[in-house]
Structure 1
């Protein structure tokens, strides 16, 4: 079992063995999933925009830029308390 100590700023170092196993590099993002009394760390590789063009278009191709703008607009409205 590997361990790390939390700093007063709430930071911990991910042990090198785990970083190597997950292939996580400096500057990459990770997210945490809480499952009961456990926390699962997952590495985020790229963004949804990196997938653009990787799926064969259907009869009605999606405009990913338009979808992204619509999501941003919806989130902004919710943050502003109008949604």
Structure 2
């Protein structure tokens, strides 16, 4: 897949790439330069995209239990 650079230094990101990265108008992108390539990283997204990144706690404790542990640790 190739694109053409305009005289203003602009390119149109192909639709297949925009779809794959879930890009929409107004999204910000970061360009990371490597030795012989450029990596494009979307900087905006929905909070929903974060779902599943953090595992659920193994043990659930109450606020009272948390306060008790804090009091023990701070003396």
Normalization by structure 2: what TM-score?
0.58
The 1-side partners of 2:8 and 2:44 are apart by 26
4+ aligned runs moved over 2 Å, structure 1: none
Secondary structure class of the residue paired with 2:8 = coil
Aligned length: 46
The 2-side partners of 1:44 and 1:25 are apart by 12
Residue 6 of structure 2 is aligned to residue 12 of structure 1: no
Counterparts of 1:1-83 in structure 2, within 5 Å, are 2-45=1-44
Structure 2: tracts of 5 or more residues without a match: 46-69, 71-75
